Structure 1
Amino acid sequence: MFSQMMSSLRPSPIQVMAERTRQAVATGHSVVDMTLGEPDFPTPPHVAQAAVRAISQGLTRYTPINGSLPLREAIVRKFGRDNDIDCTVADINVACGGKQVIYQAFLATLNPGDEVLIPAPYWASYADIVGMNGGVLKPLATRPEDGYALQPAQLDAAITAKTRWLVLNSPSNPSGTAYTPEQLLGFVEVIRRCRHQGFLILVDDIYEHILFDGRRFATLAALAPDLRDRILTVNGVSKAYAMTGWRVGYACGPRPLIEAMTKIQMQVNSHTSSISQAAAAAALDGPQDEVHRRCRIFQDRRDLLLQRFGAIEGLHTPKPEGAFYLFPDIRAFIGRRTPSGALISDDMAFADHLLAQGVSVVPGSGFGMPGFMRLSYATSDNQLHLAADRIAAAVEQLG
């Protein structure tokens, strides 16, 4: 009845844990939900007002497949202003979130057996999107002691004639790793001298504006203009502007690739909502003060949890440079038992134990790193303190 692809498609580990959390809450349990990567702030008022104006002005009809002209013009300005990337509206694709942009890029370019290099831990959806389009995920394992940062020598050793894409996500979901210009230039040197030159680079910058400790954001296309005909720079408004439900993602890249992605989108969903596009243009062109203010709040929350987690013996938590996640190493707890005698056999069992104690996280195995866990700190300080209290108590219970 179903295609062969369906047999390999797994439910999102993030959504699985989010649903289990909803079920626990529905049955009366108190749970601090740290599963979803969604800012807890409202969409900025001027963005919402732009959507209302669009409705009142009758901007409720079809737009061009690859995005309305006003939105693509705003994206061109954004890339020039924020990233030093010179592009035109013909180089832009707009879709229903960054996930659709990535899906269309892989559908347009992958053939069975093509390899996609992705540093692990990686956003869970990358793996399934690669598989759904016939590709083969080739994870590049990183280490917590390196801040989960890919090393140039690893990249050099991994590239083969089968390599079709390299994916770089910075700041990263789930680790919060943010590459410096110097680190990215290390990758550039590997790419330039590599004897296999037929692959593309997908740069996922969705957490661009959530960067901590005064760090300067860097993106590959700005650092290596000579490689721009191979780089697809993906972004969106969901994280920085708290617009997850509006579903607007976009990309700038080589025009033949953008045209192929647009051709695919024509037969999938035509375009994202015209109202959402008007709101996204207002977000990109409007004041950015609230984005910066919220970034400072995320940094304070990170520091709060790092301080609290530092007092939990056996919980090793590298300091993220951006995004709003922690990715602690929980391997010290594998093999121990709960008070009821249940074995903590893996990170899923550890997540189950935490959920029973009132904290919901996502097992690291869903991100290509068994023995770890991801938690989102996009919630209030009170909830973060409560989560830390419960995690500390849950760990103390283990024998």
Structure 2
Amino acid sequence: MITYSRPLDALASGPADLTQHEIEALATRHNLADAHTHQHQSASQREIVGRLPDLWYEAERGTQAEFERRFTEAFFRLHGQASALHGKPPLLSYAASVSTLVVAMYLRERQATVTLVEPCFDNLHDVLRNSGVTARPIAERTLHDVQHIYDNLKESVRGDALFLVDPNNPTGFSLLKHGRSGFAEVARFCRDHGKLLVIDLCFAAFAFCGDTPYGRFDLYELLRDSGVSYVTIEDTGKTWPVQDAKCAMLVTSDDVYEDVRKLHTSVLLNVSPFILNLLTAYAEDSARDGFASVATVLETNRRLARDVLAGTVLELQEPVVPVSVAWFRIASDRLTATELQHLLREEDVYVLPGTYFHWHAPGAGDGFIRIALARDPGMFADSVKRLATALERIGR
């Protein structure tokens, strides 16, 4: 029997968005909410930390342009995206949210409307809305069958731009499931119908993790050859455990670059050369170990969550790409995500309810929760076991 320490109508008075939930979660012992990297350093990453003074003084001696070039080359070569280096230089910022804000400013300046994938992390919608850009939803399932992607988009996309997240947060779905064909169909639709294609690629590094058969290809070559107008958002923030020292980038087609750049320079001058030097070292380290330092932690924690939570009301939804979060369906008709999240908070366990990811129709997400995986495996094991024990207690 489920019991509550406060009335259910009080649940509605909680945080207004997912980021506010994540801020509250930082005060809990078993924080499985935010997807930021909280795992410990690998052996080779500890060597990078030991070199911090050297990286600092290197940044003092060099030029900003040099460190931007070294970082972007290391990042895009690591990701197998050499064509991103052949066009206009990427526009760098401190965080993906800053890059998203620039995109929203660009759309607002053109009085453009957007079709945004649902579910997705709700700050994408919030940044658009707060910038005065109207967003309409398109269901992620529209992209699941490659043979119908073009027709589905033709039927569903309204407005001037299509905004996708790939791999998607929270589900882990990716057009990589279809090889090149999925992205090609999306780009063909946008070109044929004059839509700007915006893709959030912040979780793209995880396509190199695990045993997924869906490897990455040079997406920028495909986008360039398709003739589509596009803007992509790249980011390091979810990849390495660097205490939130990060860099995001905007990469655009040539036809929109100067207008986007004008807005970008109105927001900031540059990213710290020290941070760029540090991130270059991490990118080079991952190139040497084939992303093992990232993949091993996530594989261990996803397997543990699957095993420990087997037999509970939580059913893992297997991702296309093994991203750093796990999406669970609540297999119960008498327990919603809102209720479950509140009950788990009383057990000092913090997860995110699916309602917020369904930014247009929250009720569609009330049967899901998201659990972050980028944690030290020992700490994660304690948290998941605590979660399982709480679920058993709730079910009594």
Residues 211-251 of structure 1 show CA distances to partners (whole Å, capped at 9, x for unaligned) of 32143124643444323652323222222232352131113
1:247–1:381 distance in 2 versus 1, CA, 3 Å: closer
2:33 match: secondary structure: coil
- State the percentage of identical aligned residues: 15
Q: Which amino acid aligns with 1:372?
A: F
2:169 match:
173
Query: In structure 1, which of residues 329, 349, 364 is the aligned counterpart of residue 339 of structure 2?
Result: 349
1:366 match: secondary structure: coil
Single out whichever of 130-139 and 106-115 deviates more from structure 2: 106-115
**Alpha-carbon deviation of 1:93?**
0.8
TM alignment of 1:70-219, pairs within 5 A: 70-76=67-73, 78-79=75-76, 82-88=80-86, 90-111=88-109, 114-142=112-140, 153-160=151-158, 162-170=159-167, 172-180=168-176, 182=178, 185-193=181-189, 197-210=193-206, 211-215=209-213, 216-218=215-217
Q: Partners of 1:38 and 1:32 in 2: how far apart?
A: 14
Instruction: Decide whether the 8 Å contact of 1:229 with 1:253 is kept in 2.
Output: no
Query: In structure 2, which of residues 16, 19, 22 is the aligned counterpart of residue 15 of structure 1?
Result: 19
Query: In structure 2, which of residues 13, 19, 35 is the aligned counterpart of residue 37 of structure 1?
Result: 35
Q: Partners of 1:388 and 1:49 in 2: how far apart?
A: 32
Q: Partners of 1:197 and 1:244 in 2: how far apart?
A: 42
1:365–1:112 distance in 2 versus 1, CA, 3 Å: farther
Q: Partners of 1:194 and 1:264 in 2: how far apart?
A: 23
Instruction: Decide whether the 8 Å contact of 1:191 with 1:197 is kept in 2.
Output: no
**Alpha-carbon deviation of 1:86?**
4.8
Across the two proteins, how many residue pairs are aligned to each other?
A: 363
1:52–1:356 distance in 2 versus 1, CA, 3 Å: same
Q: Which amino acid aligns with 2:347?
A: Q
Residues 341-391 of structure 1 show CA distances to partners (whole Å, capped at 9, x for unaligned) of xxxxx4222211111123110111111133311110222334434333333
Query: In structure 2, which of residues 348, 355, 365 is the aligned counterpart of residue 358 of structure 1?
Result: 348
Q: Partners of 1:179 and 1:251 in 2: how far apart?
A: 20
**Alpha-carbon deviation of 1:47?**
4.6
Single out whichever of 175-184 and 359-368 deviates more from structure 2: 175-184
1:300 match:
300
2:57 match:
56
1:231 match:
230
Structure 1 residue 381 corresponds to structure 2 residue 371: no
Q: Partners of 2:191 and 2:244 in 1: how far apart?
A: 43
2:85 match: secondary structure: coil
Q: TM-score, normalised by structure 1?
A: 0.78
1:245–1:194 distance in 2 versus 1, CA, 3 Å: closer
**Alpha-carbon deviation of 1:15?**
3.1
Residues 309-350 of structure 1 show CA distances to partners (whole Å, capped at 9, x for unaligned) of 2221x32221123211111122x44545xxxxxxxxx42222
Q: Partners of 2:390 and 2:230 in 1: how far apart?
A: 45
1:83–1:253 distance in 2 versus 1, CA, 3 Å: same
**Alpha-carbon deviation of 1:56?**
2.3
Q: Partners of 2:252 and 2:93 in 1: how far apart?
A: 14
Q: Partners of 2:122 and 2:104 in 1: how far apart?
A: 15
1:195–1:206 distance in 2 versus 1, CA, 3 Å: closer
TM alignment of 1:1-12, pairs within 5 A: none
- Cα RMSD (Å) of the superposition? 3.3
What are the ranges of 5 or more consecutive residues in structure 2 without an aligned counterpart? 1-13, 359-364
Q: Which amino acid aligns with 1:323?
A: V
1:242 match: secondary structure: coil
What are the ranges of 5 or more consecutive residues in structure 1 without an aligned counterpart? 1-9, 26-30, 337-345
